[in-house]
Structure 1
């Protein structure tokens, strides 16, 4: 067994003209410290991700590599429209995270490939939120995780990206809900309609953490909560 967590190629964190590149072996604690709140959606994720002890060792590469449908970081990265940089002896390729997962704990990563880094495009959407629904507030596995990234200008949703975890065999984008929001006014009527669509996204299941019905209900409630949290902060 070979440990690769100290390879410089896996530990970079740099800001480019149009993107932020985060090495796959950077721990969540290191990312949190170095970004220092400059990516608000990640800043909201970190305190809710397990415990400080785990964040001192956990990495984005590891969270993506397991392919878990309830990994907390993946919905956030989906909402940020992140891509995965995969490398092997023959070179490197970039895959949009939305296309990375192919099934339960399966991905497009080939034998011999490593997750080298995650790329987040810039600029960032100004309206973001991460809602984790779990039995405990901290240090628990999500029943449902929802991440939002919206561009709202002059009271109209210009762009919406929503990442979901815990409601399908893989983390997914809520494409139908995004379409229901984009181009429409950021009003209670729009949000209530979109929340109804969001409740139908994915294929949630019953298990010891939550029922499928509860998971679906929490999806819609998350969007209503976002609207309540942001209405006064969004320029009219």
Structure 2
């Protein structure tokens, strides 16, 4: 830090300093080939989808915060890489009367700034998702597209009852996120199909929380991630949605716990009873991040923590 300060500030006429004050150049269609490999960027979503129909083996990248690690650390290479990060059709954010639609190629930082707290559960997720540098490039489409069971956004989006708009050269379909994952890093997404947007229904549940359990508080991979969205009316849990990450081969909804909460008073006894159910959700395993017993314990503790955090605001 001292060395950086010792360098001093650039002169007013410094070309790099002047360049930083200008808008970035507009993205242009790109086709770079070397030997038998290619990096391709198209101008429109329709052109990209036609390309993916021709090259279903292509690796699709936006921020490349996941694939970039594979290239850098594991020396993986792809015959064809297709960039979608600047496609206008994937960079829209619209707030409608009954839903919010978030473009799959918007970075997490862009979503955070544009929503500005409109979705409190997402607002709670963002500061815990990796680092600011990663959030400047990472996208919801990428986090969901990899199908990782330890991604931080799937539990939150499951609790929000989000659905995905999947597009290919033949058209578009909407798939509930709860039906999207089919196995470890597997999904219903077909070859040549892209996640165009994430749709979050409105109105939102008023009682929400995101609990991320990791070895480091920030900038770490989750051992367990739990997202809650509850409707509590007149002291009774009318609706409960709970998304889990890190406790099964895919992100999952805690359906048994949701059933144990709904229709019961939001009380310490209900929280304790439901916490016992939550400890048995998923199929936690032992690995270098946490033991299965620890993961189960954290699941139950997360619900007790939620109750403790909300009892001052919600009648019991």
The alignment's TM-score, normalised by the length of structure 2, stands at 0.74
Match of 1:209 in 2: 289
Larger RCO of the pair (alpha carbons < 8 Å, separation 6+): 1
Matched, 1:137 2:230: no
How far apart are 1:235 and its partner, in Å?
A: 4.1
**Corresponding pairs, count:** 236
Equivalence for 2:134: 54
Q: C-alpha separation between the residues in 2 aligned to 1:181 and 1:219?
A: 15
Select 1:75's aligned residue among 152, 155, 161: 155
Note the C-alpha offset of 1:2: 2.9
Aligned equivalents of 1:3, 1:153: Cα separation in 2: 46
SS of residue matched to 1:2: strand
Q: 1:96 is matched with which residue?
A: 176
Taking the aligned partners of 2:304 and 2:261, their CA distance within structure 1 comes to: 13
SS state of the match for residue 147, structure 1? strand
3-state secondary structure, aligned to 2:244: strand
Q: What are the Cα deviations for residues 32-70 of structure 1, in whole angstroms up to 9, with x where unaligned?
A: 000001100000000000000000000000000010000
Deviation at 1:83, TM superposition (A): 0.2
Give TM-score scaled by structure 1 length.
0.99
Name the larger-Rg structure.
2
Q: CA deviation at 1:234?
A: 1.1
Between stretches 3-12 and 214-223, larger displacement belongs to 3-12
Shift of 1:8: 0.9
Equivalent in the alignment of 2:121: 41
Q: Please, which runs of 5 or more residues in structure 2 have no aligned partner? A: 1-80
Structure 1 segments of 4 or more deviating over 6 A? none
Deviations 1:15-40 (A, max 9, x none): 11100000000000000000001100
The C-alpha deviation readout for 1:167-217, integer Å capped at 9, x for no partner, is 000000000000000000000111100000000000000000000000000
